[in-house]
A and B are shown apart, each in its own frame.
Chain A
Amino acid sequence: MSYLLNVNGENRVIDVNGDTPLLWVVRENLGLTGTKFGCGVGLCGACTVHLEGTAVRSCTVPIRAVSSNSRITTIEGLSKDRSHPLQIAWIAEQVPQCGYCQPGMLMAAAALLREKPEPNERDIDTAMTNLCRCGTYPRVKRAILRASGHNGRT
């Protein structure tokens, strides 16, 4: 089957089996490897992308469930030059360790800030359910607060 998607602002047509998860379409068919495979069943959030502006775990979204021309944003599309306030905050707070969970973390955080530009700690607790094996959570929280204007502190 052929699918028409708008990925990071570009129209793309891909030919793939309809049950293929969006994760693998993005990674393998579109070659955008920033979106990561961690668990494959919606538990870790490493595969988080934005579908029509909402954070989704792309490993659980079969491509046939994505309506034609949907807007998809991946980590590569968050900004052109690491200029998204979250990317700046992520570097300032030195968040990543191995870094594997971080594209998903950033995409989940970006969706949170779009919905709640000034989240409190509880909002962050609720929204940020992505897993990080390296234990970067304290810095993830600080970076989100920093990006939202709390200057890194509550």
Chain B
Amino acid sequence: MKSSFALTRRLFVKTGLAAGGSVVFYMSAGVLPARASTPATIDLNSWIRIAPDGAVTAFCRTTELGQGAHTSLALIVAEELHMDGSAVAVEMAPVSEQFMDITQGQGAGYYVTWGSLSSRDMDTNMRRMAATVRILLLQAAAKLWAVPEQECSTEGGVVRHVGGRTLAYASVAPVAAALPIPQNVEPKPRAKWQRLGHSMARIDIPAKTDGSAIYGVDVKLPELLVATIMQCPIFGGTLRSVDSSAVERLPGVKKVVSLENAVAVVADGYWSAKKGLDVLRPVWNKSPHKPEDSSMQSAKLRVAAQSPGRLFVPVGAKEIELRTAHAQGMARGAQHLEAIYEVPFLAHAPLEPMNATAHVSRDRAELWVPTQYQSMVREVVAEILGLPRDKVIVHTTAVGGGFGRRTEIDYAIQAAQISRHVEQPVKLIWSREEDMSRGYFRPMTTIQLKAALDAQGNPTAFAFTAACPSIMDYSIERRNGAPQSEIDEAGLANARDWPYAVPERKVELALTDLGVPLTWMRSVGSAASVFALECFLDEMAAAAKIDSVAYRRQLLRNRPRELAVLEKAVSLADWDRPSTPGRHRGFALSISNGSVVAQVAEIEVNSQRAVKLHRIQCVVDCGIAYNPNAVVAQMEGGIIFGLTGALLGEIVLKNGAVVQKNFDSYPLLTLAQTPEIEVAILQSDAPVGGVGEEAVPPVGAAVANAIFAATGQRLRSMPFMRHGFTLANVR
């Protein structure tokens, strides 16, 4: 590294950081002392590198999980730099303080992929960063030519003067790096976009069609050993002892490593390690908090959901007034409805089982991890090994599915511990059975709903109590001391911010621990909340004797954005016309992470109670769709993920351990069972919203409402197949 010099508090430029004299444009928050006269321009770290050969690279702290985040970033940078999208490469930024996001949460800085935040992060920051860099390049060329800036323009990686002269970005970049940073550069207005908003082929896809993408399980290193692990099957239990002598004599086995609540076999390959593990007979200490059987757990949540919980009180409101108004609203009702909705624990079950590779030596550690939470890996591994953080190097590999599971870092910690033990690089690969049964899970949740309707069927009051265990009691994120309520109330948000004109709401949370490790799963609490809300709304419509869509229309009369999404879905599905004979439809709508999604499910149930999922039609308003085809893919994937959870998925505890071990007892939707999926994107002026998680919440409700239309049976608990249905192939 040569020199680095500050230009303003927030935006400064370094040169020569990369090999070969590349110019790196770099922003940082709060790294340098503030100069009072300099307004803050940009808040997050972002990087753009222009190499001498003209290659432009954008750095990213978002893990590419197949959501197309890296392609969106390339498009954003290309749009602002007036280049071809395919001319911008994307690389993961180093995992170090400089690149942490310090604007969210309580911690020292985040390098994490969650909450559908990546496109929003890019929207607010990278667009502005790239726009600023373009102005700098333009000014640099103008200076070199000694012409007014206004006579220069940029296109295709060069600055052009009206007289016809051109200079490549790479050749003006060193001059640009020495210019004062222009303040408050506005990114291109949407009307002027030429690339953003048009589908671009994802840059990560080619390597995923020929086996060349390197996932965590594929990492190769000299002297690499392979380990596999057995963790105490009963949550909360620890390892008492293990007789490793016989196993350590097996061919290929190098060592048996004991951890606090697990035992791992290290060998020359996965198969030798697994064979060793299969004959190991570890003795476990009894768990002081052995979880109860799931039937007991759900009984406990039902009780909690029917008891008073912690009331959500909006800022400026008073609890007592809220309760009184609610009680009065309830009393005004001409009829009263009440129902309980339930969802079970779910496993994320990404197709790539948990794994990590670590090479720990005395004074440093290097890890290769398919993870969503790089900064936490670095922080905790450093702490456990007693190393300074900058001696822990974390590389992000390709990731075979995250869905939230890889925001936990247990597998990375284990790999580091095992590598330290054997003093060699080790790749730890969990078996599918460990992956399925060891958590962390989506919390089991029970929701009680109540509504009062007046004589015309209009709601006069509404109550929602969710009973569930707290994610923050288990997630590694608790280290950051994030307030528990914020996280666990995520699911309540759907009830609180329910867009329908439903007055006098009482929204409560009853946290009830069940002794099972938990974390975020794609759409978090929304999958449970929206299932309950959108099915219960159908119950309210039925009680009011109004078509469920007409009822929603009426209650969305002051919500133009949601109404537009509803109307679009209704016209796609031709809702107001009777459905094809034998087929039945259900509707649901939800809002999460700034995006509105409506779905219509069309299904058939035969006399043997076999369900065919014919079609899901989906409309999404995510504000801006940077890469529309990738948004459609996320909707398709979210719908299929949501269908798997709603119809098939269930993690059950018995005698303190998880029953499901593999895809035979935890089935995923198959190609033959997958409905035709039609997605329409409704562009709006709203800020960019998430698309990775937002198709999941409504789909269960849409299907349950359709099954009611077909059978007259209300499905109030997931998975639906537990209610005596089977899932048939569509064709």
Q: Residues of A with Cβ closer than 8 Å to B?
A: 17, 19-21, 24, 27-29, 31-41, 43-44, 46, 74-76, 78-79, 82, 87, 90-91, 94-103, 106, 121-122, 124-126, 128-141
Contacts and interface: CB of A to CB of B under 8 A. Distances in A.
Interface in B206-239: 206-215, 217-218, 220, 226
Nearest to B216: A100
A132 B254 CA distance: 34
* Residue with the highest number of chain B CB atoms closer than 10 Å, among A75, A124, A125: A125
Contacts of B275: 19
8 contacts: A20-B269, A34-B210, A75-B211, A78-B210, A94-B629, A99-B205, A125-B672, A135-B638
Interface stretch (B345-353, B586-594, B713-721): B345-353
Nearest to B432: A39
Interface centre among A24, A31, A46 (most CB of B within 10 A): A24
Nearest to B674: A137
Given A98-B65, A133-B350, A137-B640, A87 B210 contact: yes
Interface string B180-221: 000000000000000000000110111111111111011010
Contacts of B212: 34, 76
B204 A28 contact: no
B209 A37 contact: no
Given A17-B251, A40-B432, A133-B401, A98 B350 contact: yes
Contacts of B630: 94
Interface of B: 65-67, 201-202, 204-215, 217-218, 220, 226, 251-252, 269-272, 275, 349-353, 398-403, 429, 431-432, 629-630, 633, 636-641, 662-664, 668-672, 674, 676-677, 729-731
B269 A24 contact: yes
A112 B59 CA distance: 41
Contacts, number: 183
A28 B218 CA distance: 9
B208 A96 contact: yes
Contacts of A124: 671
Which of B209, B269, B403, B664: most chain A Cβ within 10 A?
B209
Contact of B637 (A43, A100, A134): A134
Contacts of A126: 672
A84 to B, nearest CB: 9
Contacts of A24: 269-271
Given A43-B662, A121-B731, 13 more contacts: A28-B226, A28-B271, A33-B217, A37-B429, A76-B211, A90-B209, A98-B401, A99-B205, A99-B398, A99-B400, A103-B211, A122-B731, A135-B640
Nearest to B627: A94
A98 B211 contact: no
B675 to A, nearest CB: 9
B272 to A, nearest CB: 8
Contact of A17 (B207, B271, B352, B670): B271
Interface residues of B, dominant DSSP: loop
Nearest to B272: A17
Nearest to B679: A138
B209 A102 contact: yes
A82 B664 CA distance: 33
Contacts of A21: 271
Contact of A99 (B208, B220, B226, B670): B208
A54 B669 CA distance: 25
A43 B353 CA distance: 14
Given A91-B205, A91-B209, A37 B270 contact: yes
Nearest to B71: A94
Contacts of B207: 99
* Most A C-beta atoms less than 10 A away, residue of B65, B226, B633, B639: B633
A90 B213 CA distance: 15
A33 B211 contact: yes
B105 to A, nearest CB: 26
User: Which 8 A-B pairs have CB atoms at the shortest separation, nearest pair first?
Assistant: A34-B211, A135-B640, A99-B208, A100-B400, A97-B66, A75-B211, A125-B672, A135-B637
Given A33-B218, A37-B217, A100 B352 contact: yes
A138 B670 contact: no
Contacts of B400: 36, 98-100
User: Most A CB atoms within 10 A — which of B210, B220, B398?
Assistant: B210
A130 to B, nearest CB: 8
A97 B209 contact: no
A28 B270 contact: yes
Contacts of B677: 138
B587 to A, nearest CB: 21
Given A24-B271, A133-B403, A135-B640, A100 B351 contact: yes
A126 B236 CA distance: 43
Contacts of A138: 636, 674, 676-677
Contact of B67 (A44, A97, A101): A97
A147 to B, nearest CB: 12
Contact of B351 (A20, A27, A41, A44): A44
A31 B220 contact: yes
Contacts of B664: 41, 43
A75 B668 CA distance: 24
B352 A135 contact: no
A67 B215 CA distance: 30
Nearest to B663: A43
Contacts of B398: 98-99
Contacts of B204: 96, 99
Nearest to B202: A94
A94 B672 CA distance: 20
A79 B350 CA distance: 27
Contacts of A20: 269, 271
B560 to A, nearest CB: 31
Nearest to A35: B211
Contacts of A103: 211
B209 A133 contact: no
Nearest to B695: A135
Contacts of B350: 98, 100, 133
Contacts of B668: 131-133
Contacts of A131: 351, 663, 668, 670
A4 B357 CA distance: 31
Nearest to B269: A28
Nearest to B643: A135
A78 to B, nearest CB: 7
Nearest to A101: B351
Contacts of A44: 351, 663
B226 A39 contact: no
A125 B629 CA distance: 24
Given A36-B400, A137-B671, A94 B210 contact: no
Contact of A102 (B201, B208, B226, B672): B208
